[in-house]
Amino acid sequence: MGRVAIITGGTRGIGRAICEALKADGLTVVANYAGNDEAARQCADTLGIHCYKWDVGDHEATLAGCAQVARDVGPVDVVVNNAGITRDATLHKMSFDDWNEVMRINLGGCFNMAKACFPGMRERGWGRIVNIGSINGQAGQYGQVNYAAAKSGIHGFTKALAQEGAKSGVTVNAIAPGYIDTDMVAAVPDTVLEKIVARIPVGRLGQAHEIARGVSFLVSEDAGFVTGSTMSINGGQHMY
């Protein structure tokens, strides 16, 4: 059995592509999901991976879920914090629930997963955490003060936790995807999407497998000297 990896939000989109890539790399893959049981069954059957259901924004549920994975599958060596939601609106139309739910899941989920798995990684002297941020956490985006704040928070969280894990062989990095051809982006109106693509120097949306290959590198043995870093995979749309 290879190292055990949990990918949150792992049954669809970028998360599923990450599951495929890490399974191909020889890891024992566990996909976490929150709601879509049919997608989880299809993912488990097609990829031959484990799927566990819990809300990563729920602290106690996350501790219990990760403990169950450790009992059933093995100690968790790799965590990919990919789960995320959007509740887009301009500030004057955004409710507190819209703000709070995005922060609870997108940023709180990273904290909850780290609390569950980081101590064991340190004790065993090896671990990999990869947090999926966003170009919109780097550059901001109209109508996304909640999402941009949560994703920006992920980048700071990554740098701080990396310093705690470095001496124990635990690396913590982030990937900031640009606009990727997933269901979330497909929901954007065509006229808006055309304007987005026009601002991407490579002239197209990214593909989920391109994010997955970045994760594959960051969780590998070869990336042991990479920590506290953010890998931007955005087709050149935002550079700094």
- Which residues are designated catalytic? 147
**Rg, the chain, Cα only:** 17
Cβ 168 vs Cβ 125: under 8 Å: yes
Task: In whole angstroms, give the CA distance from residue 43 to residue 38.
Answer: 8
For residue 76, what is the enclosing H or E element? strand 76-81
Residue carrying the six token digits 């780097």: 138
Task: In whole angstroms, give the CA distance from residue 41 to residue 27.
Answer: 20
Cβ 51 vs Cβ 40: under 8 Å: yes
What are 132's strand-pairing partners?
175
- Residues 6 or more apart in contact with residue 2 via CB below 8 angstroms: 25, 26, 27, 28
For the chain, the farthest-separated pair of C-alpha atoms sits apart, in whole angstroms, at 51
